[in-house]
Structure 1
Amino acid sequence: MSSVIKPRDAKQLTLRFPCKQCGAVIKYAPGTDLLICQYCGTENRIEQRTGVIEEYDLKEALKRVTETRAEAAVPTIHCDECGAGFQFEAKIHAGECPFCGTPIVTATTEIKPIQPKSLLPFSIDEPAARQRFKRWIAGLWFAPNAVKKYARSDTKLTGVYLPYWTFDSDTVTAYSGERGDVYYVRQPVQVVKNNRVVTEMRDVPKIRWTPVSGQVRRFFDDVLVGASSSLPRKILDALQPWDLYALIPYDENYLSGFRSEYYQVELAEGFDHARQIMDDQIYRDICFDIGGDHQRIHHVETRHSRTTYKHCLLPVWSAAFRYKDKSYRFVINGRSGKVQGERPYSVWKITFAVLASLMLAAGIYYYLDKSGALQKMQENGMVIQQYPVEQPIRY
C-alpha cells in the first residue's frame, strides 16, 4: 500500500472551519480537541478519527513518485471572508489570509504527490511557549546583555506544523576488521625524582591486534528526518525526542489557525539522511560486537529489507530576534516545550572568563609551590617521558 496520490485535475480545495453557533471561522486550541470561536466563545469539538497509523513501502512509493507528473504551480487562494485573492509561499499550505487574518487550510493533493497521513497536535499554547523561550534566553551563558532584553519582551511566536519523514528498516550488516587488546611491557621510562631525571622500569601499554569478521542485525523503528528547509537540520534534530507513539490520523481541523508546510526534502533524500543515522548506530553495534579495548573496522556491507516510511506533521512555535543586524532563529517543540535555536556570544564575557580561569590556575600553582606540594609531587616521581600507547585507526 502506498500513500502516494496522483495529482488530479480538480480545482484546489480551500477548507473552512465555521463555528456551529455563529458561523465565524474558528481556530484550534492547543492541548485540547476543540476549535474555539473567538467571537462567541463556543467550543466546537473535533470528532476523533480512528484508524491505525500506517507504514508505507518505500520502494513502491519511490517508484510511484517518479511516475507522477511535475508538481503544480502554487494556486491562487480565494478568501471567503473578505473576498481577497492571494497566494501562500510555495512551501506553505495552511496559514492566515494576509488581508483579514482568517485561518485558511488548503488541500495538499495538487502540489505534492505524497500526503501527510498523521500529525501531533500542539499541546502547549503560545503564552506557555513564550515562557519557555524567556527562560531559555535568560539562561544563555556568555550572551550579550542586550540580548537578555528579549527575555522580558512579548516576542510574537508563530505556530507551524513542520513536515517530517519517519523510516523503519530491518538491517543485516556484514563486517571485517580488527580487535585491539591492551597488554603491558616492562620498558625504561624517564621520570623526575628529587629534581633529577632518572630512568626506571615501568609497565608500558601496547595493543595486540587480531583480525575479526562477523555480522550484526538491528531493526530501526521511526528514524526521524526533518523534511523542511526553513530551519537548519541541526536545530530540527535537536528538538527531539518527539512522542511519535501519540500520532493521530491527519485532520485539517488541527491546522486551523496555524501555518503548515509542504515537505521540501524529497522522500529519497530523506531516506539518505535516515541511512546516515542508521549507519552511525550500526558502527557502534559493530564496535560492541568486536569487543576488546579498541576496534578497527575495514569493511562494512549493510542490507536493508522491509523498509517503510510515514509522512507526518509535527508542531513547533517559531520566531526570531535581531542583534547587531543579524537575525537569530529559535524554535520550541510544540509538545514538550524544548527550546533550540541560534544565539550570539559576547566576546568580552568569553575573554573575561578565560582570563579569570588563567588567574585561578596561576593562584593554585602559586599556593602549591609555596606549600611545598609541588616538591612532594616531584619526589613521588612525575613521569616526563614514556612510550605512548598505540592509537587505534578507524575507517
Structure 2
Amino acid sequence: MENNINKSSNQDEIACIQCGAKLTFAPGTDSLKCEFCGALNTIEVDEHERAEAHKEIDFHNFVNQQMDIAPKTEILTIKCDGCGAETTFDQNVISDSCDFCDSPLTSKEGHKSSIIQPKGMLPFKIKDKEGLDLYRSWLRKLWFAPNKLKSYARQTEKLAGIYIPYWTFDSKTNTNYTGERGDDYEETENYTENGESKTRTVTKTNWTSVRGRVFRDFDDVLIPASQSLPIKYVEQLEPWDLTNLVPYDTKYLSGFKSESYQKGLEDGFVAARDKMKDVIRGDVRRDISGDRQTIHSMDTDFDAVTFKHILLPIWISAYRYNQKVYRFMVNGRTGEVQGERPYSWIKITLFVLMIISIIATVYYLVETYGG
C-alpha cells in the first residue's frame, strides 16, 4: 500500500486573503498575520479536528501493523555538523544558520525523508519580544556571568522560534515487588569514656522481608524526541498545557522552524518506561512503608500503552563562549526560562579574594581591639 505522505508546503504559498502577501503565524492568537497589510487570517479548527489532536494511538498495534501506512510528512532535513541537530528547511530556503549552535547550514547538505506526521501541537503563545525580555531578565539574575554574555544579550534582537518534537505515552501498570521493610527502634547502651561509665540511646533497625503489588496509571508522559538540546533543561521547561493541543497544521509553522525527531517512537517508549519506573519505585517504597525500605526486585507490566506525536514551541538562543556553545530556552507557552550558562572565573576569583580580605580584616580587628 502506498504511504500517505503530506509534503510540507512552502510558506510563501500561505497567502493573505486580502492582498496576497506572505502570512506568518501570530503568537498568542489563532491567526496568521499579513506582513504587508497587517490583516489577520484566522486558522479555522472544528471541534472534530480538535478532538482528533487529543486522540491516543494504540502503541503496539501501530508499531506492528500501522507504522508503514501511517500518515507521513515529507521534509527537507539538514543535519548540523556542529551539534548534530536536524532542522527542517522550507523548500525556498537555500542557507541559514543552526539555531542550536549558530553554525552555518546550506540546503545542499540536506536530505529529504518522510517522518510520522505529528498528531497535534501547541502553537506559540509567547511573542518574540516577550521571550527576549524574559531571556534578558533571566540573564541579569545570573551571578558571575561573563560581561560578554550580558553584552550579547543586549545586542540580541530576536530569538529563534522552533517547534520541538515530543512523544507522549499513556499506560496502565501493575508491579510485583520484593524487598525489605526497616522499622527503627531505640535501645539504651552503656559505654565508657575517659574511665567514666555512661549511657546513650542508639537507633537500630529491625528488617522484615516483604512482597506486594502496586498499580499506577500514567497519562501523557512527555519524552523529548530531540537530542539537540540538553535534556536536563528541556524537562525543566515543563509543565506544558497539553489540554490546549490543536491539530497539526503547517499554518502554525509559518514564520517558524521545526525539528524532526531524532529519537524514534520505540526508543521514545523505552525512555518513557524508565520515567514511569522512577515513579513506580516511589510507589513501592510507600507501599512497603516503615522507616526504611530496600527494594530487591520490581517486575512491571505495561498495559494499554498509547501515544501521541506532538510539536511544542520553544524560543532558543545559542551563544559561543570560550569555544563552547551555551543554549538558552524559553517555553513558548508559559515563558519559563532555562539554559546553560558560562561562569566568569575572573569574577569568581575576585569575589573569593574579597571574602578572604573581609575575613582577614575582621580577624585583625578582633585580635587588635577585641581584648
TM over 0.5: yes
C-alpha displacement of 1:137: 1.0
CA contact (8 A) 2:9 2:250 kept: no
Residue in 1 aligned with 2:28?
Answer: 31
Question: Does structure 1 residue 45 correspond to structure 2 residue 42?
Answer: yes
Residue in 2 aligned with 1:89?
Answer: 78
The percentage of aligned residue pairs carrying the same residue is 43
For 1:131 and 1:23, the matched residues in 2 are separated by 33
Aligned residue for 2:138, secondary structure, equals helix
For 1:230 and 1:358, the matched residues in 2 are separated by 41
Aligned residue for 2:309, secondary structure, equals strand
Distance 1:283 1:197, change over 3 A: farther
C-alpha displacement of 1:111: 3.3
Question: Does structure 1 residue 312 correspond to structure 2 residue 310?
Answer: yes
Residue in 1 aligned with 2:105?
Answer: none
Residue in 2 aligned with 1:116?
Answer: 118
Aligned residue for 1:318, secondary structure, equals strand
Distance 1:67 1:154, change over 3 A: closer
Distance 1:358 1:300, change over 3 A: farther
Question: Does structure 1 residue 266 correspond to structure 2 residue 264?
Answer: yes
For 1:213 and 1:356, the matched residues in 2 are separated by 57
For 2:22 and 2:195, the matched residues in 1 are separated by 86
Residue in 1 aligned with 2:322?
Answer: 324
Amino acid in the other structure paired with 1:176: T
For 2:261 and 2:114, the matched residues in 1 are separated by 8
Residue in 2 aligned with 1:147?
Answer: 149
Q: Which residue among 163, 166, 175 is the counterpart of 1:164? A: 166
C-alpha displacement of 1:229: 2.0
Amino acid in the other structure paired with 1:57: D
Distance 1:306 1:88, change over 3 A: closer
Q: Which deviations, in whole Å up to 9, do the C-alpha atoms of 1:211-251 show, x marking residues without a partner?
A: 11111100000000001122122222121111111111112
CA contact (8 A) 1:34 1:45 kept: yes
CA contact (8 A) 2:23 2:35 kept: yes
C-alpha displacement of 1:351: 4.5
Amino acid in the other structure paired with 1:328: Y
Output the TM-score relative to the length of structure 1: 0.77
Map 1:71-110 → 2, pairs under 5 A? 88-89=77-78, 91-93=86-88, 95=90, 97-98=92-93
Q: Which deviations, in whole Å up to 9, do the C-alpha atoms of 1:269-300 show, x marking residues without a partner?
A: 00111111100000000001111111000111
C-alpha displacement of 1:60: 1.1
Residue in 1 aligned with 2:242?
Answer: 244
For 2:68 and 2:246, the matched residues in 1 are separated by 29
Aligned residue for 1:112, secondary structure, equals strand
Distance 1:249 1:357, change over 3 A: same
Query: Bigger radius of gyration, 1 or 2?
Result: 1
Residue in 2 aligned with 1:7?
Answer: 3
CA contact (8 A) 1:96 1:259 kept: no
Distance 1:141 1:163, change over 3 A: same
Amino acid in the other structure paired with 1:245: T
Residue in 2 aligned with 1:61?
Answer: 62
Residue in 2 aligned with 1:337?
Answer: 335
CA contact (8 A) 2:3 2:68 kept: no
Question: Does structure 1 residue 219 correspond to structure 2 residue 217?
Answer: yes
CA contact (8 A) 2:145 2:344 kept: yes
Distance 1:29 1:94, change over 3 A: farther
C-alpha displacement of 1:97: 3.5
Structure 2 segments unaligned to the other structure (5+ residues): 80-85, 97-111
Amino acid in the other structure paired with 2:59: L
For 1:128 and 1:166, the matched residues in 2 are separated by 28
C-alpha displacement of 1:357: 6.7
Q: Which deviations, in whole Å up to 9, do the C-alpha atoms of 1:22-74 show, x marking residues without a partner?
A: 111100100001111111122111112322120000101111366569x99x7
For 2:60 and 2:204, the matched residues in 1 are separated by 48
For 2:247 and 2:69, the matched residues in 1 are separated by 25
Distance 1:301 1:172, change over 3 A: same
Residue in 2 aligned with 1:136?
Answer: 138
For 2:274 and 2:328, the matched residues in 1 are separated by 25
Q: Which deviations, in whole Å up to 9, do the C-alpha atoms of 1:159-196 show, x marking residues without a partner?
A: 111110000000000111111111111123577xxxx7
For 2:191 and 2:350, the matched residues in 1 are separated by 40
Residue in 1 aligned with 2:177?
Answer: 175
